[in-house]
A and B are shown apart, each in its own frame.
Chain A
Amino acid sequence: MQTVHSPDFKRNAARALADTGLQKALGTAKGAFLVRRAQAVANLPEFEQLRDIGRDIKNHTLANLDFYLEAFAANVERAGGKVHWCSTAEEARETVLAICRSVGAKTVTKGKSMISEELGINDHLEHHGITPVETDLGEYILQLRQETPSHIIAPAFHLNREDWEADFRRLHTHLPKDRVFNERADIVAEARSTLRDRFLAADVGITGANFLIAETGSSVIVTNEGNGDLTQTLPRVHIALASIEKVVPTLEDACNMLRLLARSATGQDFSVYTTFSTGVRRQEDLDGPEQYHVVLVDNGRTNMLGTEFQEMLRCIRCAACMNHCPVYGAVGGHAYGWVYPGPMGSVLTPSLVGIDKTGLLPNASTFCGKCESVCPVKIPLPKMMRHWREREFERHLTPATQRSNLKLWAWFAKRPTLYRLATRLGISALHMLARGKGAFASLPLASGWTKGRDLPAPEGETFMSAYARQQRAKGRR
């Protein structure tokens, strides 16, 4: 599995804030997804109802997950495919390697897959002499740069056009050095022509799966480039990697989820390619793979069932939460230190790798609630981050100063009269200190806050006293 760098979140975030290239990329990208999503949602009046239905479909599936997985597996096998049940990442890696070896594979093309990143498939294949080739444009340049994705649907979110040009010039040595990239389309065209031969030569194609359909035993991928389809159509063997919560009961259920997915992700009404794979190529088909394998991965998911994190298993990986997150927007995806960044990562990562290694992530939030409000399946992400904070506190993982400060605050909070007195004194003192400036650029004991932003100065009275005053005023009327 990819090494977990989440304990370094604070350092990573500080570095990200100072990284001018990253800040430029985030600035360029920011807004594009938001505007497109808002337009797509505005153009579909039923969107809110579809979200409720999507949530209910996923809840129903999770409550009967054993049944639907068995039904899915039976239908895969009916269509000549094979299902490999894998409890751990290691088991999944070994399974993929064994399939590749069984056909003497030398190169493997890959569609974009986050579960592949989670399992660490590429390193494992490479280590055993098989060359994995990422074919999604974003994943491709990251493989060239030996980097990991910083976003779950736009892996190269952190790069600028200059980076693409420089890397292609540096690494595509088969092309003239003095070639000119006039526009982005030239970069895309170069990747297209370079990768075309790899598609044709590959022995095995590995994709992820956005959904699995129990009714038909199909795996579904949703893409825009067409690389995933080339990956699962041209080689002799197609391996679909999927975690167990990807299953939905029927095609009709999938249709509802698909109406939510593209709109929430890229703001498209529908992605360019939504493809259902069911088993092996049929006897009289002229193309398609001879072998179809589904590697069904648990890797910690079953442990989330029955806990306050079960609802996280509804996630369809659209990335709307990170696109709308102020923290993600400020520091980018790499700061989170593992495969899944942003709000969904701050809930999922602790579930999969342990809160002891990832305690900072549920704290990397302003609790503005935007993530939950845009989630297509209404996952209560802020509530779950709070649950993780509680667990962290219970297990004494919270830093000592924070613990003692919380205890101090709790002592006051349990004594309302004293609490109101103390806050009133504190607030009027701060109000006087601010002398009408509205905000503090620096303040003793609060440098941690004021280093990155101003501290707004209080208006002079507490909420409780303002409320009491207004109630009195109402009473007089």
Chain B
Amino acid sequence: MSKEAILNGIRRGLKRGPLPADQQAMLAGRLASHPRHLQPARAQLPRPAQVALFLRNVEKEFGTVERVPHAGAVPGAVADYLAAQNLAPKFVLAPNPELWAMPWSERPMLEFHSGRAEATDMVSVQHGFVGVAETGTLMLPAAPTRPTTLNLLPDTEIVVLKASGIVAGYEDAFDRLRAENQDALTGGFMPRNIMFVTGPSRSADIEQTLELGAHGPRRLHIILIDDDPAALAQDAADEAGFAPLPGAAPAWTETAPATDTWAPPAPQPGVAAPQADQG
């Protein structure tokens, strides 16, 4: 069988037999401890500057950003963004309890369904997991509450991200995932798919000249919820009168969203139970 042929070929080339047990244990230890390498200094910043770096990098890569003071402001921000872009107020919403809990009924013009994206969906509203400040990159691990097709099929993707989810580097993003995600199939933390997304889709295949909107979304818009007092610049924090304690639930989460086109689905395994990735 070719597996043995390849492994033997490797050992022959390296002029040794199978690795001795102690060497194997050492390598297994390296896998288990997965040591970090050099972390670029550019993102090792105080929280407000780190968030600002994230936003600057998103815009550098042709994404757009809006900051909102709390989750209750998200439906309004979605509606206003779609109107400003001259887009129909219709979208597919990630089936995520945090997103469901937002007061969508305050914007009755909005029409949406919740689930995976289909070819006919022109806009998606996705749940962001983590933002990497170093390059303005979103980490979007697949989950029943965060379908991958929302990142791919629609022309416009809107990602709702919390400021508390912004980290310095990719390694920090993976550490969040290690801490917060439990994969039932493997017992590990990796889901089927993790997309790191930096700006909207593009191609430079024609004369090495950049064109946006190749096969994925043409527009990537991030709505950043300022849930992290430490991430606000001090003067901005004062101005906003920002003082909620972490974990304090805003009043509107108590009422379930209700629109003409959508009602909260009956609890389903894996959907009703929020993934342990709420950052």
Residue numbers of A with Cβ under 8 A of B are 25, 28-29, 32-33, 44-46, 49-50, 53, 57, 63-71, 73, 75, 78-80, 85-87, 91, 135-138, 141, 154-157, 159-161, 164, 184-185, 187-189, 191-192, 195-196, 199-200, 214-218, 224-227, 229-230, 232-234, 244, 249-253, 255-256, 258-259, 266, 268-288, 292, 296, 298, 302-307, 310
Contact = CB atoms under 8 A, between A and B. Distances in A.
A221 to B, nearest CB: 10
Contacts of A159: 206
Interface stretch (B7-15, B230-238, B253-261): B7-15
Interface stretch (B34-42, B78-86, B98-106, B158-166): B34-42
Contacts of B185: 78-80, 279-280, 282-283
A133 B115 CA distance: 28
Contacts, number: 294
B192 A285 contact: yes
11 contacts: A50-B38, A66-B19, A160-B207, A196-B119, A199-B215, A225-B201, A225-B216, A275-B193, A275-B195, A286-B149, A288-B193
B11 to A, nearest CB: 6
Contact of B215 (A227, A275, A277): A227
B180 interface: no
From A32, A33, A244, A279, name the one whose CB has the most chain B CB atoms within 10 angstroms.
Answer: A279
Nearest to B144: A284
A138 B209 CA distance: 12
A224 B214 contact: yes
B197 A273 contact: yes
Contact of A274 (B30, B196, B211, B215): B196
A218 to B, nearest CB: 6
B204 A266 contact: yes
B212 to A, nearest CB: 8
B9 A28 contact: no
B247 to A, nearest CB: 27
B34 A251 contact: yes
Interface in B50-92: 57, 61
B91 to A, nearest CB: 16
A252 B6 contact: no
Contact of A79 (B2, B186, B197, B204): B186
Given A71-B31, A224-B202, A224-B204, A302 B6 contact: yes
B263 interface: no
B148 A229 contact: yes
A278 B214 contact: no
A192 B14 contact: no
Contacts of B147: 285-287
Contacts of B117: 287
Nearest to B5: A87
From A50, A71, A85, A160, name the one whose CB has the most chain B CB atoms within 10 angstroms.
Answer: A85
Contacts of B61: 269, 272
B229 interface: no
A45 B44 CA distance: 14
B197 A269 contact: no
B135 interface: yes
| A-B pairs with lowest CB-CB distance, top 9 | A226-B216, A305-B13, A284-B270, A302-B9, A225-B214, A138-B205, A286-B116, A85-B3, A250-B34
B49 interface: no
A413 to B, nearest CB: 35
B79 to A, nearest CB: 25
Given A46-B41, A225-B216, A226-B215, A277 B200 contact: no
From B12, B214, B268, name the one whose CB has the most chain A CB atoms within 10 angstroms.
Answer: B214
Interface in B255-279: 268-271
A105 B208 CA distance: 34
Contacts of B188: 78, 216
B198 A67 contact: no
Given A229-B216, A232-B193, A305-B10, 19 more contacts: A64-B23, A66-B10, A67-B19, A71-B28, A78-B185, A87-B5, A156-B206, A225-B216, A226-B152, A244-B6, A250-B34, A252-B34, A269-B61, A269-B134, A282-B185, A285-B143, A287-B147, A303-B9, A305-B9
B190 A79 contact: yes
A298 B197 contact: no
Contacts of B198: 268-274
A233 B10 contact: no
Nearest to A25: B207
Nearest to A65: B10
B206 A298 contact: no
B207 A255 contact: no
Contacts of A230: 152-153, 215-216
Contact of A29 (B6, B38, B196, B207): B207
From A50, A164, A214, A306, name the one whose CB has the most chain B CB atoms within 10 angstroms.
Answer: A306
Contact of A68 (B27, B207, B213): B27
A87 B3 CA distance: 8
Given A79-B186, A218-B190, A305-B10, A284 B269 contact: yes
B27 A184 contact: no
B214 A280 contact: no
A176 B196 CA distance: 38
From A214, A258, A281, A286, name the one whose CB has the most chain B CB atoms within 10 angstroms.
Answer: A286
A86 B2 contact: yes
B169 interface: yes
Contact of B206 (A57, A164, A250): A164
Contacts of A188: 203, 206, 211, 213-214
Nearest to B177: A251
B113 to A, nearest CB: 12
B197 A272 contact: yes
Contacts of B30: 249-250
Contacts of A305: 9-10, 13-14
A272 B202 contact: yes
B120 to A, nearest CB: 11
A424 B241 CA distance: 85
A200 B206 contact: no
Given A188-B214, A226-B214, A273-B197, A136 B13 contact: no
Contact of A67 (B24, B37, B171, B199): B24
